[in-house]
Amino acid sequence: MYRVQDGWLQEARRALSPNREPRPAHCRPELLVIHNISLPPGCYQGSCVEQLFTNCLDWEAHPYFGQIRGLKVSAHLLIRRTGELIQFVSFDERAWHAGQSSYGGRTNCNDFSIGIELEGCDDEPYDSVQYEVLAGVTRALLAAYPGLGAHAIVGHSDIAPGRKTDPGKAFDWARYRQQL
């Protein structure tokens, strides 16, 4: 069982990102956005994602990093392929995960959403432990934030269609929702 206290998931290791800011007045989490990430693409278990979200990535360490040089992004939480949890931004703050986005007629989804990154890529199956951890974390978030609901859980592709494809075709939505 996972617990959220004062905006932090108690079971997660914290790695504070500077890429965050207060939510606009009267904005509380009302949307959960599922993403995927791997750096370099398709490579897992390294520290590059954490370095990206904390603005410490060595842009010269891999040729791909030249394409994202200077990018300043974050997510609230990363679920590694092992199930390890790393939280970068308090759920009570605005993380920089959604970019240009809209949901339910509202733009700028970062204002009212929580972003969870799964270590992975669009076309490679996620690990079972990731589904288990994601479902447990989701239950904790639904309990902690009354404005969130199972009806408002989407992929990045749903709020930025044509621009984003994650969590991708390999993400098993039915399996995830069944575990909720």
Looking up residue 51, the CATH number of its domain turns out to be 3.40.80.10
Which domain covers residue 123, as residue numbers?
11-179
1 in any annotated domain:
no
5 in any annotated domain:
no
Out of 30, 50, 117, 119, pick the active-site residue.
Answer: 117
**Active site includes 117?**
yes
Express each pLDDT in 24-73 by its tens digit: 999 999 999 999 999 999 999 899 999 999 999 999 999 999 999 999 99
Express each pLDDT in 148-166 by its tens digit: 999 999 999 999 999 999 9
Contacts made by residues 66-72, CB under 8 angstroms, sequence distance 24+: 72/19, 72/96
pLDDT bracket for residue 175 (50, 70, 90): very high
Measured CA to CA, the distance from residue 158 to residue 138 in angstroms comes to: 18
What tokens does 40 get? 């370099």
Spatial CA neighbour of 94 closest among 3, 159, 26:
26
6 in any annotated domain:
no
Q: Based on C-alpha coordinates, what's the Rg of the chain?
A: 15
4 in any annotated domain:
no
81 in any annotated domain:
yes
26 in any annotated domain:
yes
161 in any annotated domain:
yes
What does the pLDDT average to over 92-96? 98
pLDDT bracket for residue 101 (50, 70, 90): very high
**How many domains, the chain?**
1
pLDDT of residue 10: 98
Which 3 state secondary structure label does DSSP give 118?
strand
156 in any annotated domain:
yes
